[in-house]
Amino acid sequence: MEHKKTYNAMELKTTKGDLLIEGPIPPEQLARLEFHEDLIAFRPPKQQHKALVEIAALPEGRIIIARDYHTIVGYVTYLYPDPLERWSQGKMENLIELGAIEVIPKFRGCSVGKSLLKVSMMDDAMEDYITITTEYYWHWDLKGTNLNVWEYRKVMEKMMGAGGLEWFATDDPEISSHPANCLMVKIGNRVNNESIQKFDQLRFMNRFMY
């Protein structure tokens, strides 16, 4: 499968300043930009910046960023699911995962997350993919937002909805381990039935196990 990446951008005006939402960004350009020191949700900023550059260099890897002049203040990543996850077991070339989304505290509540997802889906090539995201409550910044699990999940669902992702049922044990966890999915309009059936088998792998 050919992984086409078409650059898109939009300007987002916020009360904290104007941002440029753009991508997919090539690795060389990503490496040259500053990475905000408050982007600490997944690993220390320098390490996360390096990880994003590596993802951008993958054939299927996509990084969409929110930029304040030369500084990245938010991003979303798309790549193939982790080889240890069930979603990679079907070896589907047209299944990609929204792996991480992060926005610095200063710009939270300014629709940056929604805008990152909207720009992601402006690329027509996304219609060739099944895009998934797995949401686990233990990854959520409940403390920093003062939201409870259900309020946070509502925020996540709204944000993912901006990119056309919807809630899908699954028997994945990690997702099923807490009712707030969820699988959200967008099936591109050029994805064939065979791929959809294959994906359904991945969603319900325990159906015939006793």
In the prediction, which pLDDT does 1 show? 87
Mean pLDDT for all residues in the chain = 94
* Domain assignment of residue 3, yes or no: no
- Range list of H helices, 97-136: 112-122
Residue 17: inside a domain: yes
Side-chain half-sphere of 150: how many Cα atoms within 13 Å? 1
Residue 209 scores a pLDDT above 80: no
Q: What is the pLDDT of residues 85-101, one digit of tens each?
A: 999 999 999 999 999 99
Whether 209 is in a domain gets the answer no
Residue 149 lies inside a defined structural domain of this protein = yes
The answer to the question of residue 87 being in a domain is yes
pLDDT band at 157 (very low <50, low <70, confident <90, very high): very high
Residue 208 counted as domain residue: no
Q: What is the pLDDT of residue 26?
A: 98
β-bridge mates for residue 13, sequence order: 18
pLDDT(190) > 60: yes
**Residue at 187 is within a domain:** yes
**How far apart, in whole angstroms, are the C-alpha atoms of residue 159 and residue 112?**
9
pLDDT given at position 139: 84
Confidence of residue 151 (pLDDT cuts 50, 70, 90): very high
Q: Which domain holds residue 37?
A: 8-203
CATH number at residue 185: 3.40.630.30
Q: For the whole model, what pTM was predicted?
A: 0.93
Neighbouring CB atoms inside 10 A of 184's CB total: 21
Phi, psi of 21 (to 5 degrees): -100, 120
Which of 81, 189, 178 minimizes the C-alpha distance to 133?
81
Counting the structural domains of the chain, the total is 1
CA angle 124, 127, 129 (to 5 degrees): 125
CA 202/CA 49 separation, integer angstroms: 31
Q: Is residue 1 in a domain?
A: no
With bands split at pLDDT 50, 70 and 90, how would you rate the model's confidence at 184?
very high
Residues forming beta bridges with residue 62, ordered by sequence position: 78
